[in-house]
Amino acid sequence: MKKAIITGATGLVGMAVARHLTSIGIEVLSLGRQNLSSEDISRSFGLGSRYLQLAMAEIALLAEHIELMEWSPGDECVFFNFAWQGRHKLTDGTFKEQLTNAVYSTEALRTAKKLGCIKFINAGTLEETVVEQFLLGKTDDPFQSTQTNYALAKLASRDMCKMVAFLEKIDYVHTRLSVPLAPDLTKGSYVATTLKKISEGVPYDRPKNMQLFDIILIDDVARAFYLIGLSGKNKADYFIGTSRPATLAQYFEAFESLVNIRGSENADFVTPKNLNTVNFETETLHRDTGFIATALFQNLLKALRRP
């Protein structure tokens, strides 16, 4: 992989991947909806990175835009697709609004093939696994989620892209994430906001949701996508995580304990025992790419306490 194209580059994951690839000498073309100044581009994606303002509704026109930019993907370019949009946030909106993202993903895949990219890496979510298992009757638990439309659309995106990739003859790699976090807890998701409250000693409402999640720091996520770009296998479906899941309540309680152990540099989150971790399998990713998550839960405290 000598070059990369990244959609959704202004989001948490897309920006982290763009910055990581740029920092190790890979030429990156980042795509997003925002109108950014040259200073914003350098600050967001790293020195030397290029950015193109392009909505996903126009992704089929990317080849024409690239030609006008006098930029070439070359013969070792990987396409990373992180673009996704809800009505007000990533996961909301009607099913029709969410499903539009799946259509855009397939258009991005066709565009990647047209540009001569060697691999298309699509970003999914653990939520799609949860809803898929329910639909296939693999769980006796009742399906309870506020993100049903999002999960179904992500599942559709995966399957549509797999079919189109087969027809277009381009390597397709699917990936799934649970909860990626920036070390400074920016990009205010519910989890990030709550952890920040805990670090500041602010009261918070303890969640009752018993679903399992896998929190992973964004630097590890970026490194994982780089390794997948290098050696991820065609038709693979990788979960990117620590493989140490827990409920949000357990995560928050563990983080409270870490906050209160001010002098400890080695304390870390310990996964509760007797959990069903089948959805959080990371051995395949490690076998194919060598990736292992290395950032400790303790790293959040170090980042938050940094002057």
DSSP label of 93 = S
Tell me if 158 is assigned to some domain: yes
User: According to the model, what pLDDT value does residue 271 have?
Assistant: 63
Cα separation, 277 vs 246, in Å, equals 9
Tell me, what's the pLDDT at 211?
83
Mean pLDDT of 81-103: 94
Q: How many domains does the chain have?
A: 1
Compute the half-sphere exposure of residue 268: CA atoms within 13 Å on the CB side of its CA.
Answer: 12
> Does residue 8 fall inside a structural domain?
yes
Residue 141 pLDDT > 70, yes or no? Answer: no
Q: In degrees rounded to 5, what are phi and psi of residue 100?
A: -55, -35
CATH number at residue 154: 3.40.50.720
Question: What pLDDT band is residue 188 in, cutting at 50, 70 and 90?
Answer: low
Q: Are 238 and 174 in contact (CB under 8 A)?
A: yes
pLDDT at 42: 92
Judge whether residue 155 has pLDDT over 90.
Answer: yes
Give the pLDDT score at 274. Answer: 57
Mean pLDDT of the chain: 90
- Please check whether residue 107 lies inside any domain of the structure: yes
Domain for residue 185, yes or no? Answer: no
pLDDT bracket for residue 261 (50, 70, 90): confident
Query: What's the confidence (pLDDT) of residue 272?
Result: 61
Lowest mean pLDDT among 13-22, 58-67, 248-257: 248-257
DSSP conformation class of 64: H
User: What pLDDT, on a 0 to 100 scale, did the predictor assign at position 268?
Assistant: 58
Please give the Cα distance from 109 to 130 (Å, whole number). Answer: 25
Whole-number pLDDT of residue 37: 93
Residue at 222 is within a domain: no
**Does 247 have pLDDT greater than 60?**
yes
Q: What is the pLDDT of residue 287?
A: 97
Check: CB of residue 243 under 8 Å from CB of residue 291. Answer: no
Q: Is residue 271 part of a domain?
A: no
Query: What are the tens digits of pLDDT across the range 22-34?
Result: 999 999 999 999 9
Q: In Å, how far are 75, 80, 103, 152 from 1, measured between CA atoms?
A: 9, 12, 26, 32
Q: Give yes or no for a contact between 128 and 158, defined as CB atoms under 8 angstroms apart.
A: yes
Residue 81 placed within a domain = yes
* Between residues 289 and 133, the one the model is more confident about: 289
Q: How far apart are CA 71 and CA 215, in angstroms?
A: 37
Question: What pTM was computed for the model?
Answer: 0.93
The predicted structure's pLDDT at residue 276: 62
* Residue range(s) defining the domain that contains residue 116: 3-177
The pLDDT value given to residue 193:
93
Q: Is residue 145 part of a domain?
A: yes
Distance between CA atoms of 223 and 249, rounded to whole angstroms? Answer: 28
Answer whether residue 277 shows pLDDT above 80. no
| Length in residues, the chain | 307
Mean pLDDT of 67-74: 92
pLDDT in tens, 29-50: 999 999 999 999 999 998 888 9
When pLDDT is averaged across residues 185-212 and rounded to a whole number, the result is 88
Backbone angles phi, psi at 149, to 5 degrees: -60, -40
Query: Distance between CA 102 and CA 153 in Å, rounded?
Result: 6
Q: Which residues contact 253 (CB under 8 A, 6 or more apart)?
A: none
